[in-house]
Amino acid sequence: MKIKHHDITLKIDPKLGTLKAKDMMEVSGDEELRFYLGNRFDIISIKQGKKSLDWEVEEEGKLTTRYMVKDRDIKKDPVEINWKGNLSSFQGYRVSIIRGDLVELSGFCWWFPTIEPQSQFESFTYDLKVDLPGDWTIVTPGEIMGDGGKYRYSRKIEDIFLCASPILETFQKECCGVNLELHIPKDMIKFKEVLMDDFSSSIELCTKLFGPLKKGNGGIGIVSPRGKEGAECGFERDGLWVVGDLFTKYLIDNDWKVDSLPKSLSLHETIHGWFGIGVDFKEPWLAEAITQYLEVILTAMMYDEADIEKKYFDSYRERVEKHLAENDRPIKEYRFLDNMYTHWYLKGSWAFWDMEAAVGRDGLLELFSKIYQDYIGDTITHMEFRRISESCLDIEPDFIEYWFEDKGFEPVFR
């Protein structure tokens, strides 16, 4: 069973904190249609064409309910599911109306109809039509086709993301053939130049090292006006990256440093335009490991400080060893929803610090450039990454397996 396409219409009232939705789902497979929906939504009706379909609750979980649709005709129209709910508080990678002046959707992790109950990597195409007040700025991946407060987006993507608010201002700049868009809260306009410079510097450096960004894979940045509600530092969704204003203000107030170490606001999410989106990886931990390593290396280049790498490197080891003493598992056994930062990002990136010690930084950067240029638009596994690495570099057999499939933390070369 697979959902191939969602055609969703949302009507959102930010002041009341309510949402009504209609989802026309195209489904493949001849099994009974079962789907998960977040517990704070109530189903109004399920139809196929003009025929009303019955449904029953199969399982009630802490966050989701699993439904089974009865008497679906597998040869006919899409299934129409209508639901409603009240949304009031920040919910991370889910659906929220944070305040009366801010709406964010990141909808296919527990909340909108999905086959996989705890995944944001379910792949489908979607059209999204949003009914919001006419003075709102709506930012989302995909192509805008419409006006009058109703928009439509069509994109193949793992997760729908939308940020909407009447207090966002938009600024544009051309950089390396990419039309950059920066959406920031009005109270941060005085920082627009430094924010845009950081964004464009990240694009320029990645372009220089790896090649031009694939069209549609980046260029939209949002500083989301979440304030104290904003938990994430940032994330990347297809053509855009997002960070919370709390983190942005922290960097600005601290002269672009975290724990005395320089940090770009946009660099990590920008790198994903090349590794994680441009070249996709079947195992998401590989994208994060590569990106975390490159973030430190490119930060050193951007800020021209030679000791940055060692400071980051030393801080990683202490955190990884402490974590492993409490929970020693191979990286591949950590799911997305686990607290996996230390494993996916820090221990994962150490594999590339270790590889760098064996082949040199230039050799490793050339490997990443080759992978991007040869496999842009493709999805590769970590076994394919191993094969490519071994064909290009003089590294020991089973090196990749050692780092990502074994427990422990004992560098081979460094």
For the stretch 45-61, pLDDT in tens is 999 999 999 999 999 98
Give yes or no on whether 168-271 and 280-405 have one common fold: yes
Structure tokens at 315: 């801080």
**pLDDT per position as a tens digit, 322-375:** 888 887 888 888 876 566 788 888 889 989 999 999 999 999 999 999 999 999
Structure tokens at 354: 């270790």
Q: How far apart are CA 243 and CA 413, in angstroms?
A: 36
> Distances from the Cα of 145 to the Cαs of 152, 180, 338, in angstroms?
5, 19, 37
Q: What is the pLDDT of residue 270?
A: 93
Identify the CATH number of the domain defined by range 280-405.
Answer: 1.10.390.10
- The total of other beta-carbon atoms located within 10 Å of residue 142's CB is 23
Q: What is the pLDDT of residue 119?
A: 61
pLDDT exceeding 70 applies to what percent of the chain? 93
Q: For residues 214 and 199, is the Cβ–Cβ distance under 8 A? A: no
What fold is seen in the domain 168-271? Neutral Protease; domain 2 (1.10.390)
Q: How far apart are CA 380 and CA 213, in angstroms?
A: 18
Q: What is the pLDDT of residue 48?
A: 95
Q: How far apart are CA 412 and CA 405, in angstroms?
A: 15
DSSP symbols for 249-268: HHHHHTTSEETTEE--SSHH
- Quote the DSSP letter at residue 333: G
Q: For residues 336 and 119, is the Cβ–Cβ distance under 8 A? A: yes
Identify the CATH number of the domain defined by range 2-165.
Answer: 2.60.40.1730
DSSP strand E in 95-250: where?
95-99, 102-106, 124-131, 137-139, 150-157, 161-165, 168-175, 178-185, 220-224, 234-237, 240-244
Per-domain boundaries in the chain: 2-165, 168-271, 280-405
Q: How far apart are CA 281 and CA 283, in angstroms?
A: 5
**pLDDT per position as a tens digit, 68-99:** 999 999 888 899 999 999 887 766 556 777 78
Question: In the chain, what is the straight-line distance between the N-terminal and C-terminal CA atoms, in Å?
Answer: 47
